[in-house]
Amino acid sequence: MNPHKPHIIIEGSVQYSLGELKDNQMLYDFDKMLIYLNAKGKLLFGKKFKIFEEDRDIVYKLCNFYIKDEANCKKLNIDINKGILLSGPVGCGKTSLMKLLRHIVPHQKSYEVIPTRNIAFAFNNIGYTIIENYGDKRFYCFDDLGVEPTGRHFGKDCNVMGEIILSRYDLFLSHKIKTHATTNLNAKELEERYGNRVRSRMRQLFNLVAFDKSSRDKRD
């Protein structure tokens, strides 16, 4: 990746252009971005990967967020300073998209995608240090938020991800550090799972981008 040409990405021997540089300003081309995302998706997830036409609007929203196109994000009601909460039914492709889309901006600081169940299991073994670990300044995408088991350490129950979200909210306020997440749950279910206080913080922490409830399962 050439830092002076962030719109040019090289994968193996193939060069992809995501747009053009004009008067020192990046002008991204969504159709070109889709060509790259389909190609990169096949490299990451296998030859059967493709971005479905029915998901084009979701991908368009996410692309505008990642490239920080303020004008389009404003039209789409997306705040580029917040993170993304990508919601939708099981198997609709949320995790793949969050793993894939970070590659269109290799010049930006990336995030790690971590399954929430792994965090809950780690809490059961290690305890509250885990919550402190995720309250650091690194960037994360918490995958499958809301379906992780309740944490239990030395006989004490803890809503681990709820506590981590509160920590991430403090980081967002103090250091503008974004957090992303994916979830199968709707707003009401998230509130039932984490309580009103955490749900309120989530509204301030995330832009909600939602697949249609009828989105099909794209897994084999």
Q: Is residue 81 part of a domain?
A: yes
Q: Is residue 98 part of a domain?
A: yes
d(CA 181, CA 146): 10
d(CA 116, CA 2): 34
Q: Is residue 10 part of a domain?
A: no
pLDDT digits (tens, 9 = 90+) for 40-66: 999 999 999 999 999 999 999 999 999
Q: What is the reported pTM?
A: 0.92
Q: How confident is the model at residue 19 (pLDDT cuts 50, 70, 90)?
A: very high
Q: For residue 188, what are its two tokens?
A: 């009401």
Specify the number of domains making up the chain.
1
d(CA 65, CA 166): 23
Q: Is the pLDDT of residue 3 over 80?
A: no
Q: Is residue 48 part of a domain?
A: no
Residue 100 contacts residue 145 (beta carbons within 8 Å): no
Q: How many CB atoms lie within 10 A of CB 1?
A: 12
Which of the residue ranges 81-85, 98-102, 141-145, 186-190 would you say has the lowest mean pLDDT? 186-190
Nearest to 40 by CA among 110, 109, 108, 99: 99
Q: Is residue 28 part of a domain?
A: no
* Cα dihedral 183→188→194→197 (10° resolution): 120
Q: Is residue 111 part of a domain?
A: yes
129 Cα distance to chain centroid: 24
Residue 201 contacts residue 192 (beta carbons within 8 Å): no
- Per-residue pLDDT, averaged over 143-151, amounts to 90
Q: Is residue 17 part of a domain?
A: no
Q: Is residue 96 part of a domain?
A: yes
Q: For residue 106, what are its two tokens?
A: 């290799």
CATH of the domain at 184: 3.40.50.300
Residue with tokens 């803890």: 158
Residue with tokens 């991204």: 28
- Domain span including residue 150: 54-210
pLDDT of residue 220: 59
d(CA 208, CA 123): 27
Hey, which residues does 15 pair with through a beta bridge? 10
